[in-house]
Structure 1
Amino acid sequence: MLEQVTPAVVNIAVVSKKTTEDNPLYNDPSFRPFFDLPEQQERARMSAGSGVIVDASKGYVLTNHHVVDGGTEISVTLKDGRRLPAKLIGSDKDTDIALLQIDAKNLTAIQIGDSDALKVGDYVVAIGNPFGLGQTVTSGIVSALGRSGLNIEGYEDFIQTDASINPGNSGGALVTLDGKLVGVNTAILSPAGANVGIGFAVPSSMAATVMNQLIAHGEVQRGRLGIGIQDLTPDLAEALRLGDLRGALIANIEPGSAAERAGLKTGDVVTAIDGRPIHGSTDLRNRIGLTPAGSKVGLTVKRGDDEQVIAVTIAAEDKVVADVSGTPLEGAKMRDASEAGSQFGGSGVVIESVASGSAAARAGLRSGDIIVAVNRVPVASVADLRRTIAKKPATVALEFIRDGSRLLLVIR
């Protein structure tokens, strides 16, 4: 099996530009308006990871977003030694999946398998490029499925394995004994940064969905229902007299949302999407978030003693500020905290990225900052922020959370 599979796993080298932070004042946005600090310098940085060829005819290579994030030059080295330039088709931070394309003949691809068919205890093989040493193969079993709440990515539904996964394995293949790709290795859980028998992979079902959207659109066009959800715990199910029912409980519904238009109600329990069972709130969020806007799905809903299927047209996720040109936020991409993962809480606007040298970067904003108020007016969403910034006030006072601390940044 390995003779057929290993040629499809590649090494990825990435050149990126890193902004130096020799002056500690750069780390404190309070100082920037009062000092004429010189522009920060950019230096080239090399990093490495792994990837998996999934389409030999088109040269598509799956890898992790964090492997290629910020890369200005990406190259792929095949097992036979050929080194090829790679084009970035698209990348999705929330699932940590990226898609590259190379132009070469005689490529070998791995067939994408069905990760939904995996069971705990199944044997798997991890293939990658740990520590830049070259291609390495390790084996183990599936330790757990559907791992979430790790605050590693925005959309988490990890396969956990005890197959050795170390730095540099990111983007490599997790395959079954029949040579099918069931996961893209993405993370380890270790305080020392080395393998301790707990590794995680993005399921192939999620990776394939993201890949198809990246091919079609260059990005993932996420859908949303406009609901607040929570797990249906055993205690909650007992209190609601639902027995051993599993699913996601709708805690609230946004006015005018897709959920309200479809007739969903607070207290409904979603148990399946298009006939496929829902095991909890994370499962529902992942499935809806990876469904393109405009798609129609059937939600199986338990309402009191009745069970019914409700047709819902998925709405588009409002995730990026539409027009911030000419404002202190120019160069920043943002999204609602409620849609950005559990680590960001449920209110505010998360800064996803800040373009180097942009107005937002010069102001001292960073990726991961959570804006909670502008000029003392609370902002709960991108729409709130858009309305406030559209007024173009002479002075902008941003209240935001960074690394758990609430800070104030005044921009003139």
Structure 2
Amino acid sequence: MNTQATSSHLPDAVERLAASVVGLATRRHIGSGVLWRNGIVVASASALWRSSSVSLVLPSGEQARGDVRGVDGGTDLAAVSVDGGAMPVAERAVAAAPRVGEVVFAVGREPSGLTQASFGHVGSVGGEWRTWRGGRVERLIRLDGGLYPGLDGAPVADASGQVLGIASSAFSRHHGVVLPVATVDRVLDQLLAHGHVQQGYIGIAAQPVRATLDGASVEGLLVSSVAEDGPAARAGLQVADVIVKVGGQPVGSLEALRERLQVGAQVRVLVARGGQGLELSLEVAQRPSGRCR
């Protein structure tokens, strides 16, 4: 990369992206957001937690009210409806594959209306991962440092100004994380449709184990508890059963089980009970707050 040429273009790239960036403030937090779709700003869930509305500062300097459409603590993303007037939707690098060392920048807006920019590099990249809050993120993009105050929810862009994702400090004490475009689009669809991200629930606690099924050794999930009012209990699942397959697919890990639990789906569950195979049918429910799988 020609660093000198890149540096000379950065002010223009910042200015273009800033035209899509808003500042936001609640009683306890400040942050930034970006117009992701017409009338929809994506911001940080941490900054908006439990708020039904938020005060926004538009690129023009005008104040506007934003209505919170939904938040997802698992990915630290929030959707806010706003009448942004002539604000342009941010340009996004949908198929980007950022590399370690690549120059990136974040653009936020202070409550005063001033544009705030921070420059750095991609510090680490990887495949799909789960946050400590349980959110699924399609790609790991970690910055080489932390985020300045007010940049949670800000767009992070490559040197050309194409947005790679949304900045969050919720998942690391020392490094900012970029939630990629694919994650934002998937979560945003759910927030606009339901106000939250639907998570499948069958009402069990389980742990990985090797078991015997019809004389063969298999990987599965040992059921350690079953909620009395849950889908698993209604289907006849019992403590000490070993779940081997869900929907015909092996589930040797909790991650694999999560991937099979689509809310509203009727699924066949193969369990090993006393070494013998037994097939049950259950309907996956929406996970209640604070419940297990």
Task: State if a TM-score over 0.5 links the two structures.
Answer: yes
Match of 2:108 among 129, 144, 151: 129
In structure 2, the residue matched to 1:187 is 170
In structure 2, the residue matched to 1:97 is 77
In structure 2, the residue matched to 1:66 is 46
Deviations 1:138-161 (A, max 9, x none): 3315434445464xxx32345350
Task: Give the TM-score taking structure 2 as reference length.
Answer: 0.65
Structure 1 residue 216 and structure 2 residue 193: aligned? Answer: yes
Match of 1:227 among 198, 201, 204: 204
Equivalenced residue count is 268
Pair 65,175 (structure 1): closer, same or farther in 2 beyond 3 Å: same
In structure 2, the residue matched to 1:87 is 67
Match of 1:14 among 3, 14, 25: 25
Pair 141,62 (structure 1): closer, same or farther in 2 beyond 3 Å: same
Deviations 1:43-86 (A, max 9, x none): xx5x3111121112xx1011112212254762323445444321
In structure 1, the residue matched to 2:30 is 48
Gaps of 5+ in 1: 17-44, 191-195, 320-334, 340-412
In structure 2, the residue matched to 1:267 is 242
Which has the bigger relative contact order, CA under 8 A and spacing at least 6? 2
Gaps of 5+ in 2: 1-9, 274-278
In structure 2, the residue matched to 1:168 is 150
Q: Is the 8 A contact 1:273 1:297 kept in 2?
A: yes
Task: Give the TM-score taking structure 1 as reference length.
Answer: 0.49
CA distance in 2, matches of 1:119, 1:263: 47
SS at match of 2:185: helix
Read off the aligned partner of 2:243 and give its amino acid letter: D
Pair 185,124 (structure 1): closer, same or farther in 2 beyond 3 Å: farther
1:215: how far off?
1.8
Q: Is the 8 A contact 2:45 2:72 kept in 1?
A: yes
Instruction: Give percent identity, aligned residues only.
Output: 21
Pair 143,65 (structure 1): closer, same or farther in 2 beyond 3 Å: same
In structure 1, the residue matched to 2:231 is 258
CA distance in 2, matches of 1:238, 1:122: 45
Q: CA RMSD of the aligned region, Å?
A: 4.8
In structure 2, the residue matched to 1:140 is 122
Read off the aligned partner of 1:212 and give its amino acid letter: D
Deviations 1:310-360 (A, max 9, x none): 9763213333xxxxxxxxxxxxxxx43x36xxxxxxxxxxxxxxxxxxxxx
Pair 92,134 (structure 1): closer, same or farther in 2 beyond 3 Å: same
Q: Is the 8 A contact 1:157 1:203 kept in 2?
A: no
CA distance in 2, matches of 1:282, 1:259: 18
SS at match of 2:187: helix
1:209: how far off?
3.6
Name the structure where strand makes up a greater proportion of residues: 2
